[in-house]
Structures are given as C-alpha cells and as structure tokens.
Amino acid sequence: MAKLKYKRVLLKLSGESLMGQKGFGIDPDKLDFFASEVKQIHDAGVEVGIVIGGGNIFRGLSASAQGIDRVTGDQMGMLATMINSLALQNAIEQKGVFSRLMSSIHMQEIAEPYIRRRAIRHLEKGRIVIFGAGTGHPYFSTDTAASLRAVEIQADAIMKGTRVDGVFDSDPEKNPDALKFENITYIDILKKNLRVMDLTAISLCQENNLPIIVFNMDQPGNLLSLVTGENIGTLVTH
C-alpha cells in the first residue's frame, strides 16, 4: 500500500463533468472512468466521501432566470444530484466496492437519510459514502454542501475535480497564457474573484482550516497521486 498523505477525503465533482463529450446527461464512459479513479484511492486505504452536482441535468440558478421560482428550481436541482449520485453509486459498486448513498432530503426508498455519525461509521468500515441532495436547502450550492460535509466528517481535505490543472488567474480554456497558482490562500481566492468554489463554501473551509486541492480529474491517476502527496493541481490554504 502507498503511503498516504490524506486518509479521509471529500471528492467534489460537478454534474457537468459527467457529460463527457455529450451536451447533456451522463456519459457512461466518463462515469466508468470516475468510478475506476475512486476505486484506486479506496483500494489504497483512503476513506472517501463524494458530493456531485446536478448541472448536467438541471441547475436551479439558471431556472430562476427562466421564470421558475428560485426555491423550486433549487429543489429540482437537488433531485438532479440524486440522479447523478445513483448513477455513480451503481458504477462504483460494479467495480466491487461497497458504498452508501445518503440524502439530505428524506427519500428512504433510494437512499439513507444523512446522519453524521452514521456517515462516519460507513467511512470507518471502508464504504464509499455519496452525499446527495446538496444541503437539503435552497440557495446553497453543492460546493457549499461539499464543504459542509467535509467539515462534518472531519475530512483531511476537499479534492475538487475539474477539467483543468488547477487554479488559474483566468480561464485556461480561453486564455492559453493563463497563469497557474501552485498555492493560493482563501483570502486571495475571494479578493481575485477566482471561481474555485462559491463564497459560502470558501468561507466555511477558511473558518475550519480545511485545505482545498483543485486538480484535473480527467487525467488518469491524478487522484491517487494527490492522496499519496504528489504536488498536483493547486493547494488552497491559509
């Protein structure tokens, strides 16, 4: 077994990352790839929690611009995260790894209710825990849900998987000269208005001294390299 720098992590994935090359929905190949990457760190001995967004299916904030009430739109977005969570759970269990899906909204037929102590116990028993339905409240993003759950389960770090290699001073997909930060503070993230996570999520991590590592999830092996201490992506700390 590899020597681990991070023994309990919260992996945050966007719903859009599941689309792969599609314009909507879930790409089965991308889903299988993510499950394989998660299995690698699980097999290395890492306790893994996951929060995944729902933007590939429905985004509440966009819906409000189309005339849908913001609260209703956010609730629809929470249900979208459950669809993605169920898909990811299925893909992970097809790899032979036990998992639990916990929901912030009561839906006992498909998921356990989120109970902090039970979630920690699942992690201690080697089960991957997927946290669905955000925080269960409107006006809070899945970034905030990821920060909240990470703090609650006492994770060593949040691993935020993206399509780029870390945090840049501008969008590297649009600007080839964008400068990458190897390390950056929470305060500088906020001052520079860098879209790493939203204000509430960053503030929660700052208050609880929870590191955030932003990395390219599409690069095979990156997740395993991170938990074993390799310098990949961008580290956000005090």
Q: What's 203's domain CATH number?
A: 3.40.1160.10
Q: Domain containing 92: what range?
A: 8-237
Considering its fold, how many domains does the chain have in total?
1
Instruction: Return the pLDDT at 157.
Output: 97
2: in domain? no
pLDDT at 161 over 70: yes
pLDDT at 23 over 80: no
**pTM score of the predicted model:** 0.94
Which pLDDT value is given to residue 234?
A: 96
- Torsion region of 228: left, alpha or beta (phi above 0 gives left; psi -120 to 50 gives alpha): alpha
Instruction: Please list the residues that pair with 47 across neighbouring strands.
Output: 8
Residue 1 inside a domain? The answer is: no
Give pLDDT, residue 1. 52
pLDDT at residue 120 is higher than 60: yes
Quote the pLDDT of residue 223. Answer: 97
What φ, ψ does residue 51 adopt, rounded to 5°?
-125, 130
User: According to the model, what pLDDT value does residue 208 have?
Assistant: 97
Closest CA to 181 of 170, 191, 173: 170
pLDDT band for 28, please (50, 70, 90 cuts): very high
* Residue 3 included in any domain: no
Does 176 fall in a domain?
yes
- For residue 57, tell me if it sits in a domain: yes
